[in-house]
Amino acid sequence: MEFAHTACLGGGVIGASWAALFLASGRSVALFDPASDIEVSVRNYIETAWPTLTDLGLTENGNPDAICFLKTAAEAVAGAAFIQENVPERLPIKHATFAEIEPVLDRGAIVASSASGLMLSQMQGGWQDPARFVLGHPFNPPHLIPLVEVLGNDQTAEGVVDEAQRFYEAVGKVTIRLNKEKNGHVANRLQAAIWREAISLVIEGVASVEDVDKAIWAGPGLRWAAMGPTMLFHLGAGEGGLQAFCDHFSDTFNGWWDDLGQVYLTEDVAKTLIRGVEDAADGQSPAELSARRDALILAMQKATSSLRKTD
């Protein structure tokens, strides 16, 4: 098995989820997090995640107990072939972590950062030689949502991004490669664009928070779970494809784009959204809503997995 021994630096929600996924694939995991109760919390997370991973068919070779907890980041990465870094998104903490682990890394080890709000070039400042350091940004929770955004740059050694993608795909992920840095990467920027317009529609009084959300999950969200927006519009014009779609709808979309809202998360806007979410939740706790979300995602993943394998 390639990358048979892995490490996770940071054992919060993201790090624990990565650890569960790596264990499910039959790999061993060394984990470091300075929290005093980290072993209990990570083991509990893995126990909770394991049935979901089993339902997804990812635990055939897995062992949830093939994990050890180390007292330092340097101890955790020793002997690991792939290291997933999930420490807090503050550059001084990132840089200090990289400075600690770099001297003890195995020669061929890859280090991937889960960072969503920091740029690869910013984080590379913590390395003497960042040749085998890449961005490996997941969507939360990593054991359930397939996407990983992978990025290297001119300081990344040739072939390292390919190796990272191969590792992620071996543990069940779907990867995309970023060709250049962009704040927020790809998927977060798409989310931000949709949420901005969702907020604008609420603030303008066009629809409630609940109904704007419903417009997504009962409408285009179902199609987006199958294919991306450009391919769907290509199919939407029949035999004429995307060319016919653009010919027919260019003026329409240009008009909509000119009219899209420009909003900011002020205190008043946040209060409006919070009231809307509370109304939509109808007394359900965040834990109950999260369980419902995860069950729906699991069902969709199981339903589509066999079709995806034929792509």
Domains of the chain, start order: 5-177 (3.40.50.720), 187-226+264-308 (1.10.1040.10)
pLDDT of residue 65: 97
* Mean pLDDT along residues 169-173: 95
E strand or H helix at 25, and its extent? none
pLDDT of residue 1: 83
Give the global pTM: 0.91
Q: Has residue 275 got a pLDDT over 80? A: yes
Beta bridge partners of 8: 31, 84
pLDDT at position 302 is: 85
Residue 118 has pLDDT above 90, yes or no: yes
Residue located via tokens 């998104």:
89
The whole-number average pLDDT for the span 88-113 is: 97
- Output the pLDDT for position 309: 62
Q: What is the pLDDT of residue 190?
A: 96
pLDDT at res. 307: 74
Helical (H) or strand (E) element with 137: strand 133-138
The DSSP element (H or E) to which 83 belongs, if any, is strand 82-85
- At residue 28, φ and ψ (nearest 5 deg) are -95, 155
Please classify residue 26 by burial: count the beta carbons closer than 10 Å to its beta carbon, then call 0-12 exposed, 13-18 middle and 19+ buried.
Answer: middle
**Among 303, 309, 292, 311, residue whose Cα is nearest residue 55:** 303
Q: How confident is the model at residue 165 (pLDDT cuts 50, 70, 90)?
A: very high
Report yes or no: 216 and 194 within 8 Å, Cβ to Cβ: yes
Q: For residue range 230-246, list pLDDT tens digits in order.
A: 999 999 989 999 999 99
Q: Is 113 helix (H, G, I), strand (E, B) or coil?
A: strand
Q: Is the pLDDT of residue 166 over 60?
A: yes
Q: Output helix, strand, coil percentages for the chain, rounded to the nearest 5.
A: 55, 10, 35
Sign (positive or negative) of CA dihedral 3, 5, 8, 14: positive
Residues 6+ apart with CB under 8 A from 217: none
Instruction: For residue 36, give the H/E element and its range.
Output: none
Mean pLDDT of the chain: 95
Please give the pLDDT value at position 301: 87
